[in-house]
Structure 1
């Protein structure tokens, strides 16, 4: 494997919580043209700090994934496509991005996403070392090795798992539990025929992406109706998580925690309470 900075050990005093202020996308208000909140990661950290639950010196600083890191999952052709602003505009669903020079798009849009992707890869290694880890960003589950979409430009979940398989002895089976309100078609396409990866996906069956081909990779498909509420949701998640972990005993579990299942989310269409 290539030399990477993402697997260097962080200070032992740090908790396995990974974040960088570089995660947040702010650019002349353009980021507000999409209902996805591109500054939510900083809000999460600020909330935790205000509640005195975490401090800066306890957080592991995320590093940006390099091209070489990204090539562990991505094709060179795909990475080259991101040098076209209109391609990034399509992926992020923010049309005016198409009219910005690409060096601006790289710095203001793609660098934050690459840093979050580095954070997910780092979280994989930390979870093995410490028993658990959280990347405050990432979870770009609509991106596969050669195609982005739905605000996801890099396949961080695929990358984290491939890094572990390549570099960490004793990690040869992974389970993805994807509870974002949308179907995680990116990692599904990437691991379609890979028996080392077991995918459970719970999502609103009527919303984006509706990727029928990718659904073939899901070992446990939990298709939810509009407006699904707490009791039914929790019961289904509990039953299927238990079933998934009984079917395959993984060496690593990747949990993609979408906040869009919350009642009132403009995109998710589910009705889960904050409790």
Structure 2
């Protein structure tokens, strides 16, 4: 089981714009300390090529990122001040997800410590997302002929609006987003399958809903790969989530997705997505569970 990670993930924002970036340091340390992962399982990706960026994002948007000339309005939509170091970080994260997809096709599963930047559109960024890492990976693999179809299973609490728009006219990529109905973004895009959950949805209803839809998608589509966005902002403790899942329920969600893919021999590439619980330890535990489950099922 291979895991994408780089020190560049730990880029620190100015204090007033900071959200839980510390998890990118603490999560790998925790997984190594407890023995879930070994040093040899980590790899560092190179920066994503310009050619791969332009298979998903527009030339105009990439030019603004490259020259650091986004307008004030465009910068506000992303949510933090844009700097060259942040663009460099995004390129490494996106390449990490692409590399994970290739490792997953060999080994069954691979995980990126970051990623899940599903609010980035082809022509703009939103919601702390600059590049859409999963869209970039899917488009690159389709371009090279390594896959002919993909399924995005987006279980972050926020709808994957950027991914939905990017693949709106791409039948080879099916977008499935299960999210808080009243959460960000206020204006939803149309995924191939959207399931909006009411505020306060807990483990039982969440898991029953997932079990009612995922098998049919996997069996009906038979995708060459699944991209799984495993955000832990579905937890009841999350400051932005508005759902009511427990750590146990969130872990069972991961187990169900990964077992469903493994049993059908469909490779799965995982990006971490969001998590904004008050206690950093809760965020780390939620994300660490994804790795523990993957290790137990695929190693």
Report TM bin, short chain: 0.7 to 0.9
Q: Which residue of 1 aligns with 2:185?
A: 209
Q: Which runs of 5+ in 2 are unaligned?
A: 249-299
Q: Which residue of 2 aligns with 1:246?
A: 219
Cα distance between partner residues in 2 of 1:21 and 1:56: 14
Cα distance between partner residues in 1 of 2:231 and 2:167: 20
Q: Which residue of 2 aligns with 1:6?
A: none
Map of 1:41-190 to 2, 5 A cutoff? Answer: 41-82=24-65, 83-84=68-69, 86=72, 89-94=75-80, 97=81, 105-107=83-85, 109-169=86-146, 171-190=147-166
Superposed CA RMSD:
1.8
Cα distance between partner residues in 2 of 1:55 and 1:32: 35
Q: 1:210: how far off?
A: 3.0
Q: 1:252 to 1:31 in 2, by over 3 A?
A: farther
Q: Which residue of 2 aligns with 1:9?
A: none
Q: Deviations over 1:76-115 (max 9, x none)?
A: 1001222126467424413xx2xxxx7xx112x2222221
Q: Which residue of 2 aligns with 1:261?
A: 234
Q: 1:41: how far off?
A: 2.1
Q: 1:125: how far off?
A: 1.4
Cα distance between partner residues in 2 of 1:88 and 1:137: 23
Q: Which residue of 1 aligns with 2:287?
A: none
Native 8 Å contact 2:9 2:24 kept in 1: yes
Cα distance between partner residues in 2 of 1:236 and 1:31: 38
Q: Which runs of 5+ in 1 are unaligned?
A: 1-14
- 1:110 match: secondary structure: helix
Q: Which residue of 2 aligns with 1:270?
A: 243
Q: Which runs of structure 1 show a deviation greater than 6 angstroms over 4 or more consecutive aligned residues?
A: none
Q: Which residue of 2 aligns with 1:26?
A: 12
Q: Which residue of 1 aligns with 2:174?
A: 198
Aligned length: 245
Q: Deviations over 1:43-90 (max 9, x none)?
A: 211110111222323212122213232112111100122212646742
Bigger helix share:
2
Q: TM-score, normalised by structure 1?
A: 0.83
Q: Which residue of 1 aligns with 2:22?
A: 39
2:208 pairs with 1:235: yes
